[in-house]
């Protein structure tokens, strides 16, 4: 069941990991803010350039969240970290690099196009083909001019060279997805693994499970990929990212293999410039406009939270109403009565909604609400979550709850104990089903979780 869109802080967040990307990051952020991205989760992988200085004004306006992420080869870990800690704050996430620019066609926003495809297919993820842009015959770097303006020649859409019989080039894809449907990124940053009965599609609605989609489709949305830039920039990138052992080889073969300039294409410039005209009045502070436009509306979140927990409750000024202790007590008592009388259909398929309510309550408790009111809504959300187990909870909802158990069981509410009890009652049914199906991987995984819960239940008695 779909969660109320108003319960999420961000409709679309971009997730990326960076290492010394200071010359490029501002252009990448500005473009995607125009194109419809609400927030950026940027994992800083030991940048030694002036990245922090460039990113500072965006961070001060709450347009980006920067997460320090040291050590090497951590892209998959970064993506999984974003899913683990931010999936109930971001309705959709897109996982891309800073040399990739999402280009929706026909003048629409990224959200407009992706939402149309998600609604038409009921998919958990959308894979978007790449269009590889070459050097436009530039040998030297010129950081005074943006990437989009410098490099306007690309490969033909049919360019998909084979590497061990796996298409790459423009057949490669990146993913925008519902993060709560993602199990993890396991071995490829282009596509994640999804939970059972969840899948990704391309823009044509075809199911895609590999990190490529061929034939290439770019009628609705595509990603312009500037992997080479100038020869000088490519060489610098290779030496920055690779060990000396491989740097020389990659500098030669990598650049020459990817430097494709057959087609002249400045479509993304026309799109960007039109968005600037529409969104940024001449002489205006663009960052301020972005910050105002994409500011999290705490009142909207609070209203959605109250309505999701008890739909029939209505007050004009919720914050003012809940500021009075007697009103908080009245609401909570009414809520308990409502949950006792509400039909099972009200709770069925709503574990995702109530988990989102928990995250929203925790967020609002940090400033918008006083601690007591925030705690009350946390407890109410946890009570509602327990009720979902009594309404024939589907496997996906059970998995979402299982993934959050460490956080949920640490909460200082009686409902945490009730959650253990309902898990112990319901999860054995899934274990038995996996046994019957011969699915030993899931049988063993869930059996282990069940044994941990039993141990926990004994110790807290």
Mean confidence (pLDDT) of the chain: 93
For the segment 264-281, the average pLDDT, to the nearest whole number, is: 98
Task: Pick the closest to residue 383 from 372, 375, 392, 395 (CA basis).
Answer: 375
Residues 6+ apart with CB under 8 A from 382: 354, 358, 408, 411, 413, 415, 416, 419
Q: Measured between alpha carbons, how far is 429 from 72 in angstroms, rounded to an integer? A: 42
Q: What is the pLDDT of residues 370-397, one digit of tens each?
A: 999 999 999 999 999 999 988 788 889 9
pLDDT, mean of residues 266-277:
98
Confidence of residue 73 (pLDDT cuts 50, 70, 90): confident
Helical residues (DSSP H) of 110-230, grouped into ranges:
110-121, 147-150
The pLDDT of 303-316, averaged and rounded, is: 91
pLDDT higher than threshold 70 for residue 1:
no
> And the tokens for 39?
């927030």
pLDDT digit string, tens, across residues 398-427: 999 999 999 999 999 999 989 999 999 999
Helix (H) or strand (E) holding 76: helix 75-86
Q: Is the confidence at residue 63, as pLDDT, over 70?
A: yes
pLDDT at position 112: 97
pLDDT at 442: 86
458 pLDDT above the threshold of 90: no
At residue 235, does pLDDT exceed 90? no
pLDDT digits (tens, 9 = 90+) for 130-181: 999 999 999 999 999 999 999 999 999 999 887 766 678 999 999 999 999 9
The DSSP secondary structure of 271-301, one letter per residue, reads HHHHHHHHHS-TT--HHHHHHHHT---HHHH
Per-residue confidence at 242, pLDDT binned at 50, 70, 90?
Answer: low
Q: What is the pLDDT of residue 392?
A: 80
Give helix 51-60 / helix 22-35 axis angle, nearest 10°: 30
pTM of the prediction? 0.94
Burial 136-170 (b: 16+ CB within 10 A, else e): bebeebeeeebbbebbbbbbebebbeeeeeebbbb
What pLDDT is recorded for position 347? Answer: 93
Share of the chain above pLDDT 90, in %: 79
Residue 251 is predicted with a pLDDT of 56
Q: Higher-confidence residue: 225 or 439?
A: 225
Most confident of 28-37, 246-255, 398-407: 28-37
How does pLDDT run across 332-370, given as a tens digit for each residue?
999 989 999 999 889 999 999 999 999 999 999 999 999
The pLDDT, as a whole number, for residue 162 is: 72
Share of the chain above pLDDT 70, in %: 95
Q: CA–CA separation, 91 vs 417, rounded Å? A: 29
- pLDDT for 295 equals 96
- Structure confidence at residue 8 as a pLDDT band (50, 70, 90): very high
Residue 32: the pLDDT is 98
* Annotated domain spans of the chain: 5-293, 298-459
Comparison of pLDDT for 2 and 194, the residue scoring more: 194
Through-space distance between the first and last CA atoms of the chain, rounded to whole angstroms: 35
The yes-or-no verdict on residue 248 having pLDDT over 70 is no
At the second CATH level, the architecture of 5-293 is: Alpha-Beta Complex (3.90)
Inform me whether the pLDDT recorded for 241 exceeds 90.
Answer: no
The SS3 of residue 9 is coil
């Amino acid at each position: 069941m779909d969660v109320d869109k108003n319960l999420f802080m961000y409709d679309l967040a971009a997730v990326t990991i960076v290492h010394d990307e200071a010359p490029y990051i501002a252009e990448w952020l500005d473009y995607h803010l125009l194109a419809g991205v609400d927030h950026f989760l940027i994992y800083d992988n030991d940048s030694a350039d002036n990245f922090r200085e460039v990113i500072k004004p965006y961070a001060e306006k709450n347009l980006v969240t920067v997460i320090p992420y040291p050590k090497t080869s951590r892209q998959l870990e970064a993506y999984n970290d974003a899913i683990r800690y931010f999936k109930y704050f971001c309705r959709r996430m897109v996982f891309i690099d800073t040399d990739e620019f999402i280009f929706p066609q026909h003048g629409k926003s990224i959200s407009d196009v992706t939402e149309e495809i998600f609604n038409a297919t009921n998919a958990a993820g959308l894979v978007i083909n790449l269009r590889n842009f070459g050097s436009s015959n530039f040998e030297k770097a010129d950081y005074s001019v943006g990437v989009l303006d410098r490099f306007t020649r690309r490969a033909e859409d049919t360019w998909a060279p084979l590497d061990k019989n796996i298409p790459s080039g423009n057949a490669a894809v990146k993913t925008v997805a519902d993060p709560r449907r993602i199990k993890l990124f396991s071995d490829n940053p282009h596509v994640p693994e999804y939970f059972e009965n969840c899948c990704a599609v391309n823009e044509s609605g075809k199911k895609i499970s590999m990190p490529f989609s061929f034939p290439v489709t770019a009628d609705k949305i595509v990603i312009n990929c500037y992997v080479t830039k100038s020869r000088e920039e490519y060489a610098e990138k290779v030496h920055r990212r690779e060990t000396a052992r491989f740097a020389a080889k990659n500098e030669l073969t990598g650049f020459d293999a990817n430097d494709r300039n057959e087609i002249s294409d400045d479509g993304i410039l026309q799109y960007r410039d039109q968005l600037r005209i529409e969104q940024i009045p001449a002489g205006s502070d663009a960052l301020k406009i972005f910050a105002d436009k994409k500011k999290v509306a705490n009142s909207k979140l609070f209203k959605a939270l109250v309505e999701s927990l008890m739909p029939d409750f209505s007050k004009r000024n919720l914050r003012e109403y809940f500021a009075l202790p007697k009103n908080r007590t009245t609401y909570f008592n009414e809520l308990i009565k409502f949950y006792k009388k509400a039909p099972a259909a009200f709770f069925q398929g709503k574990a995702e909604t109530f988990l989102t309510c928990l995250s929203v309550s925790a967020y609002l408790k940090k400033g918008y609400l006083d601690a007591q009111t925030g705690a009350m809504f946390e407890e109410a959300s946890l009570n509602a979550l327990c009720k979902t187990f009594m309404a024939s909870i589907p496997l996906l909802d059970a998995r979402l709850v299982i993934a959050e158990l460490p956080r949920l069981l640490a909460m200082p509410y009686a409902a945490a104990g009730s959650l253990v009890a309902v898990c112990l009652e319901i999860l054995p049914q899934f274990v038995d089903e996996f046994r019957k199906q011969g699915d030993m991987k899931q049988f063993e995984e869930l059996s282990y979780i069940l044994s941990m819960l039993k141990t926990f239940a004994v110790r807290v008695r």
